[in-house]
Chain A
Amino acid sequence: MLGFVARRLLYLVPVLVAVSLLTFLIASLLPGDLAYVILGDQATPEKVAALRHDMGLDQPIWWRYLSWLGHVLQGDFGRSFRTGQTVLQAVTERLPVSLELMVLAELGALAIGIPLAIACAVRSGSAFDRFMTGSAFGMLSVPAFLSAILLIYLFAVELRWLPATGYVPFGEDAIGNLRSFLLPALTLALGEWPVLMRVLRSDMIATLQEDYIAMARAKGLKPSRILLVHALKPSSLTLVTVTGINIGRLIGGTVIVESIFALPGIGRLLLGAIFTRDLIILQGMVLFVACGYVLMNFVVDMLYAVLDPRIRHGHA
């Protein structure tokens, strides 16, 4: 196991270097000179040249990349020229909100998806199964911003049960905090559960045809025990992978949902940086999010290996 972890960690290094390079190149090669953005359209060429010199923009590109990378490795992702806040400060301030949203959304998706998948697998081919598979397929075609609008209309405009926007910090009011997260998390969960349900259902149907399940039935074990103890774990391999793959989609969804429900998370910060053309925050955040995403995928890979020993021994 240790060797496997080491090998995977070693593979991370070139990926992370390439990610940083690509982030840097997007920011440096694409049009939009930082000095002009900071000084505005009215700036004189002399002023622009002076600022470019101060910021090191007149250095060769490889030198700029290396010095930028050096700063990043020391934890210095840059500083906003509008608010003066460092990228790290801004991100750590907002990360808890986004993480809470993503965890709640994923829990919600699992809470909807797993029971439905088991229920469908047990009676595969029945009317219930066909209805649920059909609905899951339909739900896959509903983008997050559509379900968000539908939920706002239903629960905030018509029924007036929940707030449409607004955020209450957990420390101030735990219930209010969960209430403000309910609709956003549900929005994301509605997009996630069909994927989870589809893979778990088809894996579960395959597992239920295995000999050892027949054996467990013959021993007279309770059906609930067979399903939850004997069949669920071996069927959940693809589920774990898909959960990992979906983190990327979830991050994208977080941006949209945070913007709709006015939650002060990473996504709002990113959009704000784009609208105010705060390019340093933007560059730092893209790198930060991409690295976080790569690391999360690494953790999912590890989980996968814990569930299925064949993978860490390379027999898969």
Chain B
Amino acid sequence: MATLELSIDQDVAVSPIRRTRRLGPLFWAAIAWMSLVFAAAALASLLPFSPTDMDMLERRAPPSALHWLGNDGLGRDELARLIYGARISLTVGLCAPIIGITIGGALGMLAGYFRGRFETLVVGSMDVLLAFPPLILALAVTAYLGQSILNLTCILGVLGIPAFMRVARAATLTLARREFVIAAQALGATHARILLRELLPNVFLPLFAFFLLGVAVTIVVEGALSFLGLGVPPPISSWGSMIGEGRESLEIAPRLAFIPAVTMFLTVLSFNLVGDTLRALTDPRQGAL
């Protein structure tokens, strides 16, 4: 019996996934693409082309030396619209999860640390928010508030709170029982000190990994809303609205839908990849995907 168990143990010991600390070329490719998009968005105003100038003679013109990616259905420069669209996608995509990580993270840490009635209240109210399919709630609230970048960011930010709350609470729950927290309590540290100096640095990394995944989700939802015509108001260009406009001319100029589509896919993929890599590094469970 003993030998049998031993052989099984060896078997299991060999099979676990090798956890390499090296990040791999894909990770760095994703970082490179993200930097490129960031740089383009930041330097957008230096472009010689405006994303709203129309040239009716150049409607759906193919790429040329002057217009590198051609023109769209209204004769606007596709590359300029793409770059200005990156501004919108990144602004909404970064600001909304920042709202989520701040409020959700704080609520989650407080709930996980103090427990009791407060925790029940927080978890319960988040359950109510989660009772709405996210896109439906976003659509409904946009319909009442009106379409603007600020409204969009706030709505998507609030929708992200429950998820961040759960991650922060789960991490705090396990950490709050660890020795270093008990030691700090024994030393007479205040709650604020324990939360900010002991717990926050440890909760931050998993929360940040989740933040990157949140950026990817937000870019997708913003794209979906703009695609439906309920995101940022025209003539501001957003990747979602560009894809929506490109859909109209799928038969004559599929390029107009596919260029923003590929850009969006690569950006979302990059955020997912970097976020997932960080999550796997911070997740102590073995074999986490």
A residues adjacent to B (C-beta < 8 A): 14-15, 18-19, 22, 26-27, 30-32, 125, 137-138, 140-146, 149-150, 152-153, 157, 198, 202, 205-206, 209, 211, 214, 247-249, 251-253, 255-256, 259-260, 270-271, 273-275, 277, 279, 282, 286, 289-290, 293-294
- Bound: A109/B224 CA distance, A: 21
Flag if B228 contacts A271 (CB, 8 Å): yes
Flag if B228 contacts A259 (CB, 8 Å): yes
Q: Report B269-289 CB contacts with A as 1/0, cut-off 8 Å.
A: 100110010000000000101
Please indicate which of the listed interface residues A19, A145, A286 has the most CB atoms of chain B within 10 Å of its own CB.
Answer: A145
Flag if A293 contacts B132 (CB, 8 Å): yes
- Bound: A259/B135 CA distance, A: 14
Flag if B227 contacts A26 (CB, 8 Å): no
A274 contact from B124, B127, B230, B240, Cβ within 8 A: B230
Flag if A256 contacts B227 (CB, 8 Å): yes
- Residues facing A in B120-173 (CB within 8 A) are 124-125, 127-137, 139-146
Say how far A151's CB is from chain B's closest CB, in angstroms: 11
Known A143-B264, A271-B139, A290-B132: A31·B250 in contact at CB below 8 Å: no
Say how far B85's CB is from chain A's closest CB, in angstroms: 15
Main secondary structure of the interface of A (DSSP, over half): helix
- Bound: A62/B12 CA distance, A: 62
Total residues of chain B contacting the partner, CB 8 A: 53
A32-B146, A252-B134 known, 14 other contacts, Cβ within 8 Å: A26-B140, A26-B144, A30-B145, A137-B272, A141-B269, A145-B227, A149-B247, A150-B261, A153-B254, A153-B257, A202-B289, A211-B8, A282-B143, A286-B136
Flag if B135 contacts A30 (CB, 8 Å): no
B132 contact from A19, A125, A255, Cβ within 8 A: A19
B residues adjacent to A (C-beta < 8 A): 8, 12, 15, 17, 124-125, 127-137, 139-146, 216, 220, 223-224, 227-230, 240, 243-244, 246-247, 250-251, 254, 257-258, 261, 264-265, 268-269, 272-273, 276, 287, 289
Say how far A125's CB is from chain B's closest CB, in angstroms: 8
- Bound: A34/B229 CA distance, A: 22
B223 contact from A27, A32, A145, A214, Cβ within 8 A: A145
**B141 contact set on A, CB distance < 8 A:** 26, 30
Say how far B254's CB is from chain A's closest CB, in angstroms: 6
- Bound: A256/B231 CA distance, A: 13
